Structure 1
């Protein structure tokens, strides 16, 4: 970091910008910045610069995806969004493009939001709703019963899902915990009159809504059916009705932001394309790049700045990108 002439801090992080095509099958990292820490103001300047450079090359940016870190939310608010406030009121989830009259929407990475919902349920249980109390202990009881009986009710719940403190970053564990198979298993245990699962309906409802939301925000196959199908003119009215119900039910701010964005952005996109694959708005594309960087360094989870630069350049050359 710095101009090379003065004493400076050693960079410990890399802020990477990547562009993902809504149409076609392409994605490309366009910039990285080696940092120790970044203020929301600096992030805003860097994002505005990236939007300017992309506009100069004829690329229209529809949406910006990030995780739900407080600095990211603050940056979006500085750009013109209004992401803090009463979740029951519509949020302003877009900001004006600095160089055009277009709006740029904001999406919070669905995988991060899924893990936050799982963490919230485990940490703040029981959570009161109009239909009862959402309780983490039902998932705990399900794991105990299945281990004791040696039979699994068509779900993947194990000790790793219940005691996930050492695996907080694994999306698969969160997805398997808040899944339809778990909600069906809880209902089955209740119907079989296991006393531990009495009054589990509120928990089942919560799991099913989160599962449907994640499927809606993670559609990646244009030929998929049901909830994992792409958003298009034929199913948008039905999906919009579900998103409206989910918004009234949830107070997870990241999901509320995404719902408000989809309600406004999808109708605009369907005017110029037949369907929208919501997986294109995922941060998973960036995670795959980071996996490639780690693998190139012998699965080094903490490369130095110099190593990161060398690996990044080598990956770009391998892909035929001129630097």
Structure 2
């Protein structure tokens, strides 16, 4: 109590009777109540027994501002409330995500407000005292649509130290404020970090492989439950680190070896010998092909799994007994597809989470659980109980949360059959997209100051319309969500792994079979078109020749065949062109070509024919 009196000696009454006689709380007392509750909820509950402090969930009004100041943005909540009241079903359910951003600890003078800035501000006002600490982090909260790709930045808070308990309290306040305007929060997402795990535990989440508790109650003691997710990109990085740390992970009769990945990235551009076919040479002749490795390929992808399989078929000693690594990479790739569903136009595991594909996804989750709980290191110790367990536990928790959402929000009667979940809303990608836009607005490569952050946030908030956006859309140079997905996973590519080891080049690789799957392609110009963007001009030429050859093999019309290889533009006539649709059908296997004199642009085949006559076409 003496500390409180020293900090708020002129504002906080010392006697209980004085508290009860006050008509309203002063700004200083509001600030005291908010800070005490967010940092020490138990102390706040204790003082409520002595002083007439408000209920914790009524503090959301004190943590809100009409302008783009620290705290919850009232304007955003008013816009969301208007959409709910108009009956827009896409805004009735959402996911909530939280992330912290580093700031420069620097105080600045605000000429408009006539005060110093850069101090801790939780929305109830900037601390005004000599002992007030400078803010070192900004906590940002965002709501994201789970069936429609809309995003809403709910607010930010300047703090000098972020704890899991503080994040949990802010999440509770945001959930209460969203519930008050008619929006139901179904999930919360944080980073797969120590702070994220601390936040999960503070909310009541249990991350134990033998007994996972994937939901928490809000308000505490109520029947309403909310699921918890860890960011998939963070979890993948942890799993990559675990594999690199252990080097070898045992799984039943197979083993996952990091060395297989190292050997794969070493194949920057190698040669392999293959016996030529009877058409191209004698039975004993040899032909040389290039092994091209695209270093932009994600580590956990089907392309890497296919490449390892084909390298094993080549008979290379370095890739023998890599079946366990292939299974592991392919399993992780399929899990990533599930947790990154972006739109209803996609199919399979990459599509939205629907009632129709639940059985297939559930089987995948069961397979992953059986796989993760049996992984051991070279000493026989379970990985799921080691210091490198958080990445695996994150996927197990996410799987349980997704299954819980299906059971409770997609199976019950009365749920619209069109309801589906865009699982990318359970990652931090939408919030990372907003943070990248914020950084570009700040025009700073490093951490911004509080004043720069606030000015950039105000500018972005003014242009926020809460309308659903396409994952591929990009305005004013801002990255799209697909770009963010690729950018956040740069640390998980083969190129980043190769940069760690810097293997020697020029090693000779021999084998009996050509490698032609994934990003391991023939050493031809057409192969380079898919692997090396620096050879763009040559790639376009060779690709045009390849397409033209495929067309010519199925063409029945002599006029069309002649026009296809005609290089003189003056001789081309519209009625001699093929429709693009029929041309595509030919390349994909259809042989019923017909002529059409109305719908094809002559420049399409002109470009093809000109490319064919270039010296490097074949």
Higher helix share: 1
- Partner in structure 2 of residue 167 of structure 1: none
> Which of 302, 306, 309 lines up with 1:187 in the alignment?
309
RMSD of aligned alpha carbons: 1.9
What CA deviation, in whole Å up to 9, does each residue of 1:56-96 have, x standing for no partner?
Answer: 1111000001111222222222222212x3x2x23001001
What CA deviation, in whole Å up to 9, does each residue of 1:152-174 have, x standing for no partner?
Answer: 46x52x3xxxxxxxxxxxxxx6x
| Offset at residue 6 of structure 1 (A) | 2.7
Give, in whole Å, the separation in 2 of the partners of 1:69 and 1:27. Answer: 23
> Which of 355, 359, 367 lines up with 1:237 in the alignment?
359
| Offset at residue 136 of structure 1 (A) | 1.2
Matched, 1:22 2:146: yes
What CA deviation, in whole Å up to 9, does each residue of 1:156-211 have, x standing for no partner?
Answer: 2x3xxxxxxxxxxxxxx6x7111110011001011110010011111111101110
Give the secondary-structure state (helix, strand or coil) at the position aligned to 2:290: coil
Listed as ranges, the gaps of 5+ residues in structure 2 are 1-119, 121-125, 272-288, 373-383, 385-391, 467-618
Matched, 1:53 2:193: no
Equivalent residues of 1:269, 1:276 under 8 A apart: no
Matched, 1:228 2:350: yes
Give, in whole Å, the separation in 2 of the partners of 1:152 and 1:98. Answer: 58
- Partner in structure 2 of residue 284 of structure 1: 429
User: Would the alpha carbon gap of residues 202 and 21 (structure 1) be closer, same or farther in structure 2, given more than 3 Å must change?
Assistant: same
- Partner in structure 1 of residue 188 of structure 2: 64
User: Would the alpha carbon gap of residues 90 and 151 (structure 1) be closer, same or farther in structure 2, given more than 3 Å must change?
Assistant: farther
Equivalent residues of 2:137, 2:160 under 8 A apart: yes
Bigger drift between 68-77 and 188-197 goes to 68-77
Give the secondary-structure state (helix, strand or coil) at the position aligned to 2:149: coil
- Partner in structure 1 of residue 533 of structure 2: none
Matched, 1:211 2:349: no
| Offset at residue 310 of structure 1 (A) | 0.9
- Partner in structure 2 of residue 260 of structure 1: 400
- Partner in structure 2 of residue 94 of structure 1: 215
Equivalent residues of 1:82, 1:91 under 8 A apart: yes
Matched, 1:151 2:290: yes
> Which of 242, 245, 248 lines up with 1:123 in the alignment?
245
What CA deviation, in whole Å up to 9, does each residue of 1:243-263 have, x standing for no partner?
Answer: 111111124111111111112
> Which of 397, 409, 427 lines up with 1:269 in the alignment?
409
What CA deviation, in whole Å up to 9, does each residue of 1:296-315 have, x standing for no partner?
Answer: 12243311111111110111
Give, in whole Å, the separation in 2 of the partners of 1:200 and 1:146. Answer: 19
Give the secondary-structure state (helix, strand or coil) at the position aligned to 2:184: coil
Give the secondary-structure state (helix, strand or coil) at the position aligned to 1:63: strand
Q: TM-score, normalised by structure 2?
A: 0.47
Give, in whole Å, the separation in 1 of the partners of 2:149 and 2:332. Answer: 28
| Offset at residue 115 of structure 1 (A) | 1.8
Larger RCO (CA within 8 A; separation ≥ 6): 1
Query: How many residues of Structure 1 are paired with residues of Structure 2 in the alignment?
Result: 301
Give, in whole Å, the separation in 1 of the partners of 2:227 and 2:246. Answer: 31
Give, in whole Å, the separation in 2 of the partners of 1:95 and 1:181. Answer: 38
Q: Which is higher, the Rg of structure 1 or of structure 2?
A: 2
> Which of 257, 263, 279 lines up with 1:135 in the alignment?
257
Give, in whole Å, the separation in 1 of the partners of 2:238 and 2:261. Answer: 17
Give the secondary-structure state (helix, strand or coil) at the position aligned to 1:104: strand
Give the secondary-structure state (helix, strand or coil) at the position aligned to 1:234: helix
Give, in whole Å, the separation in 2 of the partners of 1:311 and 1:80. Answer: 35
Give the secondary-structure state (helix, strand or coil) at the position aligned to 1:90: coil
Give, in whole Å, the separation in 2 of the partners of 1:269 and 1:109. Answer: 22
Give, in whole Å, the separation in 2 of the partners of 1:239 and 1:60. Answer: 25
> Which of 75, 95, 98 lines up with 2:199 in the alignment?
75
Give the secondary-structure state (helix, strand or coil) at the position aligned to 1:148: strand
Give the secondary-structure state (helix, strand or coil) at the position aligned to 1:301: coil
Q: TM-score, normalised by structure 1?
A: 0.87
| Offset at residue 24 of structure 1 (A) | 2.8
Equivalent residues of 1:247, 1:259 under 8 A apart: no
Give, in whole Å, the separation in 2 of the partners of 1:232 and 1:11. Answer: 43
Give the secondary-structure state (helix, strand or coil) at the position aligned to 2:219: coil
